[in-house]
Structure formats: structure tokens, C-alpha cells
A and B are shown apart, each in its own frame.
Chain A
Amino acid sequence: MTTLVGYSKKVLEHFKNPHNFGSMKNPTALGQVGNPACGDVMKLYLKITKNKSGQDFIKDIKFETMGCAAAIATSSVVTDLAKNKTLDDALKLDNKDVIEALEYLPDIKIHCSLLAIDALNEAIFNYYQQTNHSISESLQKKHDRITVCQTRINH
């Protein structure tokens, strides 16, 4: 039995009042990462449309997360960061952006920020697959890593 780790004010704010949470009807794409056996599961819903310049962009985003306070806060922050971004820009986000937006994450919670970025990448991967969009090598690699991780966790 262990006690709470030290959370920043921002983490507590997002934990208390998470942004963009809940499920979405008819999402364009879905990304789910994590495993209940490890205590963290994140699911991201994306609504993707074209912007004026004809680029794919994230018009709406929602999350559902079962996990610790950091997992909930990182999910909430990643939806803020990705909303209204083009998919190209959204793919440039990394876990440092998530940590920065939360001011601070304790060491043992860094994996929550990685998980949030993984969920976003997976949702975009899912969209590209559906639309037969070309998938960059780095995104394919990320997807393979996430899939391997989850299979390993499952067994």
C-alpha cells in the first residue's frame, strides 16, 4: 500500500475537471492503448474533416480513460493539444509537450504521458488505415511498438 505521489496544480485541475471527456457518436477514428491489467486504459475518439486548405484536421476529440490521476490528466491535456490541429501537426506532438502543459509529472508517472501520445498516434494511424492514406515509416514503427507492447502485456 503506497501513498499519493506529488502532483502539480495543473494535474489536479485536469483531474478534477477533465476536458473533452466522454464517448463520441460516429467518430472518424479511434485509438485505444494500455491494458486493464496494468491499471491504465486510454481511448481517444477523433472527428476528422478537411480545413480550408484541404488538409485533414481534428475538428473534435474526446477521451475515456480508466487509470490513475496522471493518466486522466494526460488524456485531458492531449485532447486540448490535439484539438483543431492538422493531423500532420498532431503527429508532431510528443510526451514532452504533455508534461510541459501539466507543468510537472513525477518520474513514475512519465509513462502516462507516453500513453496519451500513443493513443493519439494510434487514432491517427487508424484513420490513415481506413482512408488508405500513406503511412510514414515513423508512424508505422510507433504503431508496431505499441502493438507489441500490448501483446506482451496481454500474455
Chain B
Amino acid sequence: MKLSTKSRYGLRALANLIGQDCCCSVSKISKEEHISSDYLEKIFVKLKKAGVLKVERGAAGGYTLSRDPSQITLKEVIDSLEKAEFSCPSICNCQSKSVYQQIQSGFSQVLNSITLDHLTDSQNKLTYFDYAASTPIDPQVLSTMLPYFDFSYSGNSSSLHQFGLKSAQAIEDSRVIFSKILNSKPEEIIFTASATESNNTVLKGVAFANKDKGKHILISSIEHDCVRESARWLKTQGFEITEIPVDKDGLVDFQFLEKNIRPDTILVSVIHGNNEIGTIQDILKIGKICHDRGVYFHTDASQSFTKVTIDVQKDNIDFLTASSHKIYGPKGVALLYIKSGSNITPLLHGGGHEFGIRSSTVNTPLVVGFAKAAQIAIDQMDQENSRLTQLRDYLIKNILKNIPNTHLNGSAKFRLSNNVNISFDKIEGESLQLSLDLYGIAVSTGSACSSHSLEPSHVLSAIGQKPEQAHSSIRFSLGRFTTKSQIDYLLKILPGEVSKLRKLSPFK
């Protein structure tokens, strides 16, 4: 038993309706929630029949709740739309019947205990705009993972008995899913514990395996800290690092790249979708330059994976990093694509798991969850991208329009569908972050005030921002559970909080 689309849409529409000041037409809600108006009309007619909704007549008329939201339970709503039943599929009176009855009664109890105002509470009181930092796990992913914690999957995937083989099979099936998404061979996918680990493995592993060829590495000036810090450490080991500059949109300078690939260059590492400003690099072009010059190309696709199509063969990628917890999968698992035949030394030595590249017992449930998350994300990529792009552009447009002295950071055109990064002049980012947090709105800042270094973000500095602008930046990152009404809530709170902080500032 699971909620069908009808119930989900019904609940979403009701939550939206509660957020409206008065009665509301079907067409308005259908537009805001991206539900077809015919379908929504049918849902509303049923809800009206069941006494959940009523219709106000007149010019300002429309649908409205018949009672206070705290008086309407989810059970009532779902029952009026479909039969919320968890019944035994068998008609006979077997032993399982009582189990199903128990589940049904628990199910009804839960639905009876949740009212519509709970629904809007979670919508308004906790408004998460930090999906680029981490995403909540998709319930479908979680339920896919759970059986893999059972005894039958508890074997070590490198053991040859049935327990081990079952785990091994689940991991190999997952590898196939990723290889299809990336257009690679399954054995080119290595599972690791984090994107940080994948990036460390590439930087250090390629450096040490190829030091006879040369000790020069190129990275972009807007890499994630795990690439930057790995490169910085390699410097202490005698490697030479050159940073490729970016333009004001955050796009790497191809001419600089071409000019600075030398005979002793062994690796170029450029982040695909930037984590702070969302700029998407032309990896096809970078891959071609590297391929033509015979240099390995690594891209950190932690933010872009399943948001932008990646074809490792067409894009000439030798190494690629992707992470699970950015795509509604569990934390603690990531992947590294390694083109077959590439020369790389492992970081972890041991039992030779993952084709000898990453010794460690593979965590079967996490890998399975990661693969499921990737499959879901890829299946809905186009639809989700267009939904998020609309919401993103709506948010950007309204901030820039309604709040003076605000600027969009990063490229307007080559941008992740879920990233909004804005500088609010004369304000320190952390204080705005905290102001919003007090309203239950979670965002992220490029300000250094909340970090140990007190240095402003290197990414914002790299796109030419002065330190004071960099300190004033806020990143809003959207995701699968972001709705237009959440964005409207943010847009309602934001101008007042910005002007409050500006009033405190000595700079007018």
C-alpha cells in the first residue's frame, strides 16, 4: 500500500490552499503546484463531497477548507480520494491475514493522528534551501535499502558462500546502473565512502602513479576544498600545481588551459557544476583539449551528477566523482569512475576490493541505495530540471527586483537548475543566514565569519568579487521537495530581514 498520485496531489493542493489568504480557484493552485487543472478539479470535487472543502460564491470566490486544518485528518482526505487500505492480497484465511489486519489498524492510526496543519507546519516552519549541502534521503531509496541490512545480505561481498554472493550480486547490479547512466563499462565504476575520498584518490593516486612522466597538475581556481587541499598537500610532496583562472561567470579560461598544459603535466581537474555559484563547465571542450594533449582529465561531478547529462566517452573523461547524498541517497557512499587502462595508485591497500583500487569491505545497503537514488534522479531528470529551473529563475528574478543592491553570482546561462547565489551589499552573510534560520529557513553562506579561516570564499574571489562582496553572499539551493509556496514564504521574509540588517550597518 502506498499513497497514489491522487492522494499526493490532493494533499499538496490542500497545503497550498491553507497557505492562501482566502478562497482560491482550481486554476491558480494547479499552476502553482504543477498539477493539471482537470485532474485537480476531479480531486476537489471529491474532497467537497466528503466535506473537506467548500465553495464560496461570488467574484472573490473559490475553494476553501470547510473546517480548520487542525480538524481535518489525513485519513479523512485520503479516504475520500481512494481507499486507504492495506489488505491481504489473498482471499483465504491464511496466517498472514492477522498480520495485514494489524498493519491496517496501525496505518489508520497514523493517518488519523496527522492533521492538515501538520502538513503546512512542516512546509512553513522548516524550509530547506540547502540541497547543495546535502539532501534528505528519498523514502523510496530507504525502502530499497532496508532489506540489504537483513541477515541474508550480511555476508562480505568478497566471500564465496551464498551470503557473500548475494551481496556481491547487489553491488554488481548497482555498478551496471551507474555504467548505463555514465556510458561506461561496469568495471570502471569504483565505490568509495565520499566524494572527498574519490577526489583525494584521483589527485594523489594519479600524481604518485605518474610522477615519472611529470609532476605538474592543473586545477581550476574554483574547485571544492577537497581537491584544493589535496593539491596543496601534493605541493609539499614536490608536485607543481597551476590554477586555471575563471571569468566573472566562473567559466574556465580555455586558452590558459591550452597554454599551460606542458610535457610534464599529468592531470587536469575541473569541477563540473560548482558547489557555490552553480556554474556548469563545458566539459566536452575541456575533455577534448586534455585528450588531444594526452593528459588525464578528472571532473568532480558531485553537484551536477543526474542534473546534467554526462557521457564519459563522448566527453573524454578519465576520472569522475559523484556522490550519493547530493541526489537523495544515503550519506557515506560515492563513486569514482576510472577509465580502464588509467594509471592510478590506490590510497587504501588491503584485500584488493573494487578492482584493487579501494580495499575495504563494500557497504552493500549504501551502494544499493545510491544506485536507486541515481536511477530515480535520472528517470525524472528532464522533468525535474525544468521544474527547478522555473523555480530558480522565479526566485532570482524576485530577489533582484524586490531587494535593492543585490547581485546574482555565477552564470545566468550555464547554471545548475537548483542553484541561486546572491550577494546582498552591506550585509554580512552569516547574520542573514541566522536571521533566516530563526524563521526555519535554511540557507548557506560564502561568508568566512562562520569558518575558521576568516578568509572569504575562494570561489567568489576567483570570479573577481571583492572580499566585502564575498562576505555578503547567500546560497539558496533548491531540490526535489522545494515548492513554489516555500519560495514565496522565503520571498516574503527576506526583504524585511535584509533591510533590518542594513539598518544596523554603518554603511548606507
Contacts and interface: CB of A to CB of B under 8 A. Distances in A.
Given A1-B444, A2-B451, A16 B428 contact: no
A122 to B, nearest CB: 13
Contact of B504 (A39, A65, A111): A65
A73 B467 CA distance: 22
Interface string A67-78: 111111000000
A56 interface: no
A21 B504 CA distance: 7
Interface in A1-42: 1-5, 7, 12, 15-16, 18, 21-23, 32, 36-42
Interface in B419-467: 426-431, 433-434, 437-438, 444-452, 454, 456-457, 466-467
A64 B505 contact: yes
Contacts of B503: 21-22
A111 B431 CA distance: 16
A2 B467 contact: no
Of B133, B433, B448, B504, the most chain A CB neighbours within 10 A belong to B504
B456 A1 contact: no
Given A67-B431, A71-B428, A1 B507 contact: no
Contacts of B265: none
B415 interface: no
B276 interface: yes
B430 A68 contact: yes
Contacts of A32: 506
Main secondary structure of the interface of A (DSSP, over half): mixed
B488 to A, nearest CB: 24
Interface residues of A, number: 33
Contacts, number: 100
B438 A16 contact: yes
Interface in A62-112: 64-72, 108, 111
Interface string B490-508: 0000000000000111110
Interface in A34-62: 36-43
Given A15-B431, A64-B506, A1 B467 contact: no
Contact of A39 (B449, B475, B507): B449
Interface of A: 1-5, 7, 12, 15-16, 18, 21-23, 32, 36-43, 64-72, 108, 111
13 contacts: A1-B446, A4-B433, A36-B471, A38-B454, A39-B430, A39-B447, A39-B467, A43-B506, A64-B504, A67-B449, A69-B430, A69-B431, A71-B449
Interface of B: 132-133, 275-276, 426-431, 433-434, 437-438, 444-452, 454, 456-457, 466-468, 471, 475, 503-507
Given A1-B475, A69-B434, 17 more contacts: A1-B133, A4-B437, A16-B438, A32-B506, A38-B448, A39-B448, A39-B468, A41-B505, A41-B507, A66-B505, A66-B507, A68-B428, A68-B431, A68-B449, A72-B504, A108-B450, A108-B451
